[in-house]
A and B are shown apart, each in its own frame.
Chain A
Amino acid sequence: MDEKRLKKLIEILDGSDLSEITVEENGVRMTVRKGPLTIMEPAESAVSPEAGEKPAHEGNEIRSPMVGTFFLSPAPGQEQYVELGDTIDKGQTVCIIEAMKIMNEITAEEPGRITKILVEDGSAVEFGQPLFYYEPHR
Chain B
Amino acid sequence: MVEHHDRVSSTQDVAKLKARDGAPEGTVVVAEIQESGRGRLARHWLSPSGGLWFSIVLRPGLSIERVQGIVLLSAVSLARAIRGRTGLDAGIKWPNDILIGWKKAAGLLLETQIQDGRPVFVILGAGVNVNNDTAMFPPDLLVPPTSLKEETGRDIDMESLLNAFLTDFAASYNLLKTDFDRILEDWRHLSVTLDMQVKVTQMDKVIAGRAVDIDDTGALLVRLPNGNVFTVHAGDLTIEHIS
Identify the A interface with B (CB < 8 A): 14-17, 65-69, 71, 74-76, 78, 91, 93, 98-107, 109, 122-124
Contacts and interface: CB of A to CB of B under 8 A. Distances in A.
Contact of B42 (A74, A102, A123): A74
B11 interface: no
Contacts, number: 84
28 contacts: A15-B219, A15-B231, A16-B231, A16-B233, A17-B202, A65-B64, A76-B41, A78-B42, A98-B234, A99-B64, A100-B68, A100-B95, A100-B219, A100-B233, A101-B96, A101-B234, A102-B70, A102-B71, A102-B110, A102-B122, A103-B41, A103-B112, A104-B64, A104-B112, A105-B111, A107-B114, A107-B115, A124-B203
Interface size of B as a range = 20 to 34
Contacts of A17: 202, 230-234
Contacts of A109: 115-116
Nearest to A66: B64
Contact of A104 (B70, B109, B119, B232): B119
Contacts of A69: 203, 234
Contact of A102 (B112, B202, B219, B230): B112
B113 interface: yes
A76 B203 CA distance: 12
B79 to A, nearest CB: 16
Contact of A107 (B43, B113, B232, B234): B113
A117 to B, nearest CB: 18
Contact of B114 (A15, A74, A104): A104
A65 B113 CA distance: 12
Contacts of A105: 111-114
Contacts of A106: 114
Interface-central residue, B42, B71, B96, by most chain A CB under 10 Å = B42
Contacts of B4: none
Closest 6 pairs between A and B when the two form their complex, measured CB to CB: A75-B42, A102-B110, A65-B117, A100-B68, A103-B111, A105-B113
B115 A99 contact: no
B114 A67 contact: no
A93 B113 CA distance: 8
Contacts of A74: 42
Contact of A101 (B42, B71, B113, B202): B71
A103 B64 CA distance: 12
Given A102-B112, A105-B113, A68 B234 contact: yes
B115 A91 contact: yes
Nearest to B97: A101
Contacts of A75: 41-43
Contact of A99 (B43, B70, B231, B233): B233
A91 B202 CA distance: 30
Residue with the highest number of chain B CB atoms closer than 10 Å, among A14, A68, A105, A124: A105
